[in-house]
Amino acid sequence: MTAVGPAHREGRGARTVTLHHVQRWRGVEDLPGDWGRCVVTIGVFDGVHKGHQALIAQTVETARQRNLPSVVLTFDPHPTEVVRPGSHPAQLTTLTRKADLIEQLGVDVFAVLPFTPELSRLSPDEFVHRVLVDRLHAATVIVGENFRFGHKAAGTVDTLKILGKRFGFTAHEASLQGRASPEDGEHSEITYSSTYVRSCIDAGDVVAAAEALGRPHRLEGIVVRGEGRGRVLGYPTANLSLPRYAAVPADGVYACWFLRQGHEEERLPAAVSVGTNPTFSGRERTVEAYVLDLDTDLYGQQVALDFVQRLRGQITFETPEQLVREIDEDVVRTRDVLGG
C-alpha cells in the first residue's frame, strides 16, 4: 500500500476516514494537492459491476507498474439528479457499499467529489485543471469508453487526451467489457452498464443482475414495524426501510440471503416478499423477509438482503390460509435454491 499523505485531515467541512489502510477523501479541498503523482480513474461506478471491476483493476495494475498510488474518483449524489432534479436513477449501491467494494479491488484512495451545481458548470477544461491537475497531479487517467464529463457532458476521452498533452498526463480509455464466465473463452465478452443492471432488477431478473455484478444484488435497510400481521400468520417478516433511491426488484417472491450488522460471519436463508400485500389490499410497497432458522427481535437493526432467485409473482389470495400454504411452499423452494 502506498503512503499518500496524512491519515486524517480536517478541512472546511471535509472529512477523511482511513479504513483498511485505504484513504477515503471527501471534497475537492480534501484532496491533498501536496503529494506526488497518481493514476486515476473517474466515474459514478454505481453497482461496481464487472465492467467497472475490469476498469478499476486496470487502474490498480497501471499504478503498481509505475509505482504510483491508484485513485478512484467518484461523485455523490448521482450527477443526473443535480443536472435534472427528480431524475435520480435507481441506486444499485449506497456510497458506503461502493467504497467497500472498490476498496476490495486494491485501490489506494477512494475520493468522493460532492456533485454540486457549481461542479456541474465547470467546463471540461476547468474540471481537468482544477481537479485532475491542481489537486490530484494525475500522471495517467483511465476512464470507461462511454465516459463524459464537464458542463453539458461536453468532455470525452478525446478531450482528456488533448488536455493531457497540454497539462502533462496521459489518458486511456478502457472497455467496460467483462467475460461472461472464465470457461466461456475470449469470444464471450459483453459490455456491462449500470443501466443494464437496473433493467434486470426492474424486471425481477436477479440472476442476470448477479451475473453482471459478479455477486447478487443487495438491498440494505433498517428493520421497521409493519402491520403486525406476519406473526399471526405464522410467518413474521422483517420489513426493511430502504435508502431513498434503492433499486428494488420487481414485485414478487425471492430466495435471498439475509445478513445482519454485527453478525458478519452469518448469512441465513430468507423468503422475501416485494409488493403491496394485495391479499390484504395493502397500498404501500414493502420489502419483507421471513428469515428461516431465526426467532429474534430485529426491529431497528441494520440488515441486508442478497437477491439470489425469483420464485414467483405476487398473488391476491382469497383467504389468509391460502397465502400461508403458498408461503409454506416458498420456504421449501428457498431451501432448494440456497441449500441447507
Ligand X SMILES: Nc1ncnc2c1ncn2[C@@H]1O[C@H](COP(=O)(O)OP(=O)(O)O)[C@@H](O)[C@H]1O
Ligand Y SMILES: Cc1cc2nc3c(=O)[nH]c(=O)nc-3n(C[C@H](O)[C@H](O)[C@H](O)COP(=O)(O)O)c2cc1C
Least distance to ligand Y from the beta carbon of 41, Å?
41
Please report the DSSP string for 299-322 in residue order.
TT-EEEEEEEEEEE-----SSHHH
Considering the complex, state which of residue 124 and residue 230 has its C-beta at the smaller distance from ligand X: 230
Work out the burial of residue 292: count CB atoms within 10 Å of its CB; fewer than 13 is exposed, 13-18 middle, 19 or more buried.
middle
- The binding site for ligand Y (CB under 6 A) comprises 226-230, 235, 237, 239, 253, 271, 273, 277-280, 288, 290, 314-315, 323, 327, 330
**Is residue 228 near ligand X by the rule CB under 6 A?**
yes
- Residues contacting residue 300 through CB under 8 Å, at least 6 positions apart: 222, 223
- Contact predicate 212/177, CB 8 Å: no
How many residues touch ligand X under the rule CB under 6 A: the total is 21
Write down how long the chain is. 340
List the single partner that 30 binds among ligand X, ligand Y, none, CB under 5 to 8 Å by kind: none
**Is residue 226 near ligand X by the rule CB under 6 A?**
yes
Stretch that binds ligand X, among 7-15, 128-136, 212-220, 283-291 (CB under 6 A): 283-291
Considering the complex, state which of residue 110 and residue 290 has its C-beta at the smaller distance from ligand Y: 290
Stretch that binds ligand X, among 29-37, 103-111, 221-229, 244-252 (CB under 6 A): 221-229
Considering the complex, state which of residue 37 and residue 333 has its C-beta at the smaller distance from ligand X: 333
Rg (CA), the chain: 22
CA distance 197 to 178: 14
Please report the DSSP string for 173-208 in residue order.
EE--EEES-GGG-GGGEEE--HHHHHHHHHTT-HHH
Least distance to ligand X from the beta carbon of 278, Å?
16
Considering the complex, state which of residue 247 and residue 289 has its C-beta at the smaller distance from ligand X: 289
Q: For residue 89, is the peptide bond before it cis, meaning its omega torsion is within 30 degrees of 0?
A: no
**Is residue 290 near ligand X by the rule CB under 6 A?**
yes
Considering the complex, state which of residue 157 and residue 259 has its C-beta at the smaller distance from ligand X: 259
Residues that bind ligand X (CB under 6 A): 223, 225-231, 236-239, 289-291, 294-299
